[in-house]
Amino acid sequence: MEVLAEGDRALLEQLVLVSEFDAASLAFRPSSPLVAGSSAQWGPLWAEVLGEAPTPALLTRFDTLLSERGLRSLAPIGEPRAVLARLARRGLPLGIATNDAEASARAQAEALGIQDLVGYVAGYDSGHGSKPDPGMVTAFARAHGLPAGRVAMVGDSTHDLVAARAAGAIAVAVLTGPRGRAAEAEIAPLADAVLGSIGDLEAWLDGLDAAMPLQTPAMGRA
């Protein structure tokens, strides 16, 4: 936002306001459109503040700025490569479904060292729509020749879980989003399972194997 404001303090304050960004804590509020939405959704808000039309070129500029800055401060939650590697050894196809741009998601996957484990990456601009619409989940299932009911969508927002339900997939909530465990009351009613983090996925799968040995799902991740 500082880059876009180009030193104009009033402009920066307006960008902060429409983005629901808390300047004191340097964090987006849980209700911010940038937390779960795509630039196709919040980009027009920024464009209006900047006095520009929300053209594809402008939204691409927003995506590029976010990707560049995001990579600078990217930090893993737990040990994602170890977790995903163990899931892959179970024979599960893995993917990423995000309201970020696909190029940004791939760059982050590479920075985290998991790019070789996720054979499917879909962003809001990949042609499947954005969450909470079910397109990304449906496309993942189709790409792997699976019925949607054999796919688990793992995410930390209502967008993720609504997308899973709309696709007919298993909705798995993790409490590692911006609100942490405080989000449980909101997301639990939309989820088939609520886990502390992706580190708990293996134990959850073990429970499914014990109950339904032939029904272990593939995994799509937010």
* Least confident stretch, 26-40, 101-115, 154-168, 206-220: 206-220
User: Is residue 62 located within the same domain as residue 161?
Assistant: no
Strands 193-195 and 170-174: parallel
The domain in which residue 88 lies consists of 80-221
Number of structural domains (the chain) is: 2
Last residue of some domain: 72, 88, 112? 72
For range 130-145, the mean pLDDT? 96
130 pLDDT band, cuts 50/70/90, is: very high
Question: Is residue 166's pLDDT more than 50?
Answer: yes
Contact 122, 141 (CB under 8 A): no
- pLDDT score of 26: 84
Chain centroid offset of residue 45 CA: 20
pTM: 0.84
- pLDDT score of 214: 46
Output the six-digit token pair for 122: 């879909």
- Secondary structure class of 12 (helix, strand, coil): helix
User: Is residue 28 located within the same domain as residue 93?
Assistant: no
- The domain that holds 184 is classified in CATH as 3.40.50.1000
166: Cβ contacts below 8 Å, ≥ 6 apart: 132, 133, 134, 137
Say how many CA atoms lie within 13 Å of 14 toward its Cβ.
14
- Secondary structure class of 26 (helix, strand, coil): coil
The chain-wide mean pLDDT, for the chain, equals: 91
Question: Is residue 215's pLDDT more than 80?
Answer: no
